[in-house]
């Protein structure tokens, strides 16, 4: 058997064979870029990808057989300073009167309506009362907690308070309530008298407790809130929807409070079975928080509702205040307006991919290239903007307006 000779190369026109060396190098260096005020950079070491000899026709550069060529340089998209969810911002069904504010926990504000002028908030006030009590006397979910005793003076005031049309539960002198039972009376049937009993038990006097409420509001950044009583019966207790949503986020961190506000009913001493005024519980994902209603405030609701978005649970927190009709219709109006907002916000939420796994990303200033180890996804609504940053050398983070970061690990390209 004879060995076949390799075919002759094509005739060259007036030029001899040439040998060219092509150096293909990708240098990866740390980089810093501007991104909404945040430093952006990736892992900071140098690496050369490949060096290869390229032998071929001097005119066409076609490689000769058997010669190793360099791999192509990865195509890297520039890492932007931010990511905006595509589409127009959702048009929400805001109530025609009063004011409202809605946020998605850990993501940021969706919007507001009606301005944010302080106004009476009625029994929504009791969320702060419960928050201060649970901060001073923490409870595990389901735990009874310490016991408080109704004084003779507190029991004696009940007939007069009832004649005034206050929201109450019956009490007796010497009655013993656990902290959990008192919080149930406070938050489900909205007992004004129990708000005062809890305030006296915690701080020694109602005045001292109200001072705690206002100090706590200041600590939480509730700049437009002023408490004058622990129940909200006093119309001088005023706040805004946005401030109360801020409190709602803080209150939901208490597992004991979350457990209580989602109870449709419960049984306590003397009063027996009490019912939650929040008729949205169990509908539209609603898990609490607190209703309020009186002539000066109209119908009010501070609400929380959960949604599943592509396997993730997100919590919508909002407030609707100042829904006026008759004394009896204001609260149903607030409940209906809140449910419409919850439905609309839930429908607008979706998962969006910011970076694709395996797709190289490069810094805008020509710095190093890295590859996300998995997809970087965020939950949001059209028009929402996430800030992109690199909190350390090996991750890229999408930071929401609320400051929560979703991160993805990266490797050198």
Q: Give 243's DSSP letter.
A: H
CATH 3.40.710.10 spans which residues of the chain?
116-348
- At 327 the pLDDT is 54
- Rounded CA separation 181/170 (Å): 13
Query: What is the number of alpha carbons within 13 Å of residue 274 lying toward its C-beta?
Result: 26
Q: What's the whole-model pTM score?
A: 0.80
If pLDDT is split at 50, 70 and 90, which confidence band does 2 have? very low
Amino acid 370: pLDDT:
84
Q: Quick one: average pLDDT of 216-238?
A: 97
294 torsion bin: left (phi>0), alpha (psi -120 to 50), beta (else): beta
329, two tokens: 């219709």
Mean pLDDT computed over every residue of the chain: 84
Query: pLDDT tens digit string along 176-224?
Result: 999 999 999 999 999 999 999 999 999 999 999 999 999 999 999 999 9
Three-state DSSP class for residue 321: strand
Percent of all residues in the chain with a pLDDT value above 90, rounded to a whole number: 70
Q: What is the assigned CATH class of domain 116-348?
A: alpha beta
pLDDT in tens, 68-105: 444 445 577 778 889 999 999 999 999 999 999 999 99
Cα–Cα dist 229/260, whole Å:
22
DSSP, residue by residue, 146-206: -EEE--HHHHHTHHHHHHTT-------TT-EEEHHHHHHHHHSS--HHHHHHHHHHHHSSH
The tens digit of pLDDT for each residue in 341-359 reads: 999 999 999 999 999 998 8
Measure the CA–CA gap between 413 and 411, rounded to whole angstroms.
6
**For the CA atoms of the chain, what is the radius of gyration?**
32
Separation between Cα atoms, residue 111 and residue 289, nearest integer Å: 19
Instruction: With residue 335 as reference, give the H or E element that holds it.
Output: helix 330-348
CA distance 114 to 123: 20
Q: How far apart are the two ends of the chain, measured CA to CA in Å?
A: 49
Residue 262 has pLDDT above 70, yes or no: yes
| pLDDT at residue 14 greater than cutoff 90 | no
Model pLDDT for residues 16-65, shown as the tens digit of each residue: 433 333 232 322 222 323 333 332 232 333 332 333 333 333 344 444 45
């Amino acid at each position: 058997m004879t060995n076949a000779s390799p075919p002759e190369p094509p005739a060259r026109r007036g030029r001899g064979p040439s040998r060219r060396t092509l150096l293909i190098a990708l240098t990866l260096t740390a980089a810093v870029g501007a991104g909404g005020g945040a430093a952006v950079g990736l892992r900071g070491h140098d690496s050369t990808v490949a060096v290869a000899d390229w032998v071929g026709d001097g005119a066409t550069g076609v490689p000769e057989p058997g010669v190793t060529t360099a791999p192509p340089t990865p195509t890297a998209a520039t890492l932007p300073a931010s990511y905006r969810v595509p589409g127009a911002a959702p048009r929400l069904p805001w109530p025609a009167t009063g004011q409202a504010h809605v946020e998605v926990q850990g993501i940021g504000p969706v919007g507001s309506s009606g301005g944010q002028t302080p106004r009476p908030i009625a029994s929504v006030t009791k969320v702060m009362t419960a928050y201060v009590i649970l901060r001073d006397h923490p409870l595990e979910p389901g735990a009874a907690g310490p016991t408080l005793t109704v004084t003779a003076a507190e029991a004696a005031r009940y007939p007069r308070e009832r004649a005034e049309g206050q929201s109450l539960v019956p009490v007796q002198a010497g009655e013993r309530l656990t902290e959990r039972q008192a919080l149930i009376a406070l938050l489900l049937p909205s007992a004004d008298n129990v708000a005062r009993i809890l305030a006296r038990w915690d701080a020694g006097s109602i005045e001292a407790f109200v001072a705690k409420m206002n100090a706590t509001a200041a600590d939480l950044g509730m700049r437009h809130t002023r408490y004058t009583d622990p129940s909200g019966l006093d119309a001088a207790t005023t706040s805004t929807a946005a401030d109360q949503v801020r409190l709602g986020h803080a209150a939901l961190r208490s597992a004991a409070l979350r457990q209580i506000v989602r109870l449709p009913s419960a049984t306590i001493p003397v009063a027996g079975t009490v019912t939650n005024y929040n008729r949205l519980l169990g509908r539209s994902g609603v898990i609490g928080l607190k209703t309020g209603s009186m002539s000066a405030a109209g119908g009010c609701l501070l609400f929380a509702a959960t949604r599943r978005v592509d396997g993730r649970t997100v919590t919508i927190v909002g407030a609707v205040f100042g829904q006026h009709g008759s004394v009896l219709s204001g609260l149903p109006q607030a409940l209906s307006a809140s449910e419409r907002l919850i439905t609309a916000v839930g429908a607008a939420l979706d998962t969006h991919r910011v970076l694709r796994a395996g797709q190289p990303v490069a810094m805008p200033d020509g710095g190093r290239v890295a590859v996300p180890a998995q997809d970087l996804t965020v939950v949001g609504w059209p028009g929402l903007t996430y800030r992109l940053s690199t909190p350390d050398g090996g991750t890229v983070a999408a930071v929401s307006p609320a400051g929560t970061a979703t991160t993805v690990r990266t490797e050198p390209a």
